[in-house]
Amino acid sequence: MAGSSRLTSVSDWLRPQQNRMIVLLVLAGVAMLIPLVVNNYVLEVLTNAWFYTILCLGLNIVVGYAGLLDLGYAAFFAVGAYTTGILTSKFGVNFWLTIPVAVSCSMLAGLIIGGPTLRLRSDYLAIVTLGFGEIVRIIARNLDITGGASGLIGIDRPSIFGLELSRGIHFYYVFLLLAILACFVSYRLQNSRLGRAWQYVREDEDAAEAMGIGRVAVKLYAYVIGAMFGGVAGCFFAVKMTAISPETFTFSQSVLILLGVVLGGMGKIPGVIIGAFALVLFPEVFRGLGSMRMLIFGIVMLVIMLYRPEGIWPQKQREM
């Protein structure tokens, strides 16, 4: 395939550290300056893409690094969003103070669901996480404090150094910065003792155990860190939208995030970013097709998966 070899040669060129830094700086520059030249609609779409980048990178830690299939990731995102939503709108807590609380709550949710279930092997885990995702949504739908089916409205916009974050461009930069932070954290984790442990467990659980790696603890780590990413994204999502409802956190939301990870290439940071962008941009670009666009989106994904089952981003080439 011509496309594939071109992508491989791009990745060859990207191998030296220096070339990588150049590309990263150029991309960061473009991302920083782009709001100055585009209209509000495009800005909104790009903001959304950065938002999904954070979620996909979070799920990538669970699915890509540790190899655990999670079908209920939206739950962690929901816990973050609702914690911030409730604390700011019902108790008048300053937004910035809700972040640590929301992150702790989503990490706790990760522990609660992960603790008893991570002993299961992958297929069972997928079903349990699916159930957990639905439980969280249904709880949110039925409690008074979460506003029931209509959700929470009137969540205050936060301000920083006297500037109220209310315009599209503000949130563009907020989500861009968070996405960069998420990349940085993912990158550091990937190349660490813990990152390697995830890979060992993913490749062969028993051999990893025999090497002195506690598989349950290592998986739980991945789960909790993934939940943390979701929680942070949820906090900022709540204040950006100023309203949240249980229908934002459905099973299809979880699947969409998973799709971004798989589409771009599990375990590969640039791949996951491309996946997140594809997820958001494709339906927008083909808006003109009307009701056909989701069908075409589906077909395109099918084709990508058929020809590049490892994801869009090329596999790391190693010296033979």
Partner 1 sequence: MALLEVANLGLSFSGLQVIQKLSFAVEQGTIASLIGPNGAGKTSVFNCLTGFYRPDSGRIDFNGHSVIRRKPHKITRAGMARTFQNLRLFKSMTVLENVKSGMHCRTSTGALGAVLQTGSQRREEALITSVSEECLAFVGLLEQKDRRADTLAYGDQRRVEWARALATKPKLLLLDEPAAGLNFDEKKELITLILRIRDELGITILLIEHDMGLVMKVSEMITVIDYGAKIAEGTAENVQNNPKVIEAYLGSEDGEDVL
196 sits near partner 1 (criterion: CB under 8 A): yes
CA atoms within 13 Å, Cβ hemisphere of 235? 26
Residue 176 belongs to what H/E stretch? helix 168-190
Closest CB 313 distance from partner 1, rounded Å: 16
Closest CB 205 distance from partner 1, rounded Å: 10
Closest CB 179 distance from partner 1, rounded Å: 16
Q: How far apart are CA 114 and CA 95, in angstroms?
A: 28
Q: Which is nearer to partner 1, 3 or 116 (CB)?
A: 116
Q: What is the DSSP secondary-structure string of 199-259? A: HHHHH-HHHHHHTT--HHHHHHHHHHHHHHHHHHHHHHHHHHHS-B-GGGG-HHHHHHHHH
- Residue from 204, 228, 222 nearest 101 by CA: 228
Binding-site member from 207, 289, 299, 303 for partner 1 (CB under 8 A): 207
Q: Which is nearer to partner 1, 65 or 77 (CB)?
A: 65
Q: Which is nearer to partner 1, 287 or 316 (CB)?
A: 316
DSSP 8-state assignment for residue 34: G
4 sits near partner 1 (criterion: CB under 8 A): no
210 sits near partner 1 (criterion: CB under 8 A): yes
Binding-site member from 8, 199, 242, 245 for partner 1 (CB under 8 A): 199
85 sits near partner 1 (criterion: CB under 8 A): no
- Residue from 217, 220, 176 nearest 61 by CA: 220
Binding-site member from 203, 285, 289, 294 for partner 1 (CB under 8 A): 203
157 sits near partner 1 (criterion: CB under 8 A): no
* C-beta neighbour count of 41 within 10 angstroms: 10
From 9-17, 106-114, 197-205, 290-298, give the range in contact with partner 1 by CB under 8 A: 197-205
136 contact partners, CB below 8 Å, separation of at least 6? 72, 74, 75, 78, 79, 109, 249
- Residue from 216, 217, 19 nearest 120 by CA: 216
225 sits near partner 1 (criterion: CB under 8 A): yes
192 sits near partner 1 (criterion: CB under 8 A): yes
Binding site for partner 1 (CB under 8 A): 184-185, 188-189, 192-197, 199-200, 203-204, 206-215, 221, 225, 318-320
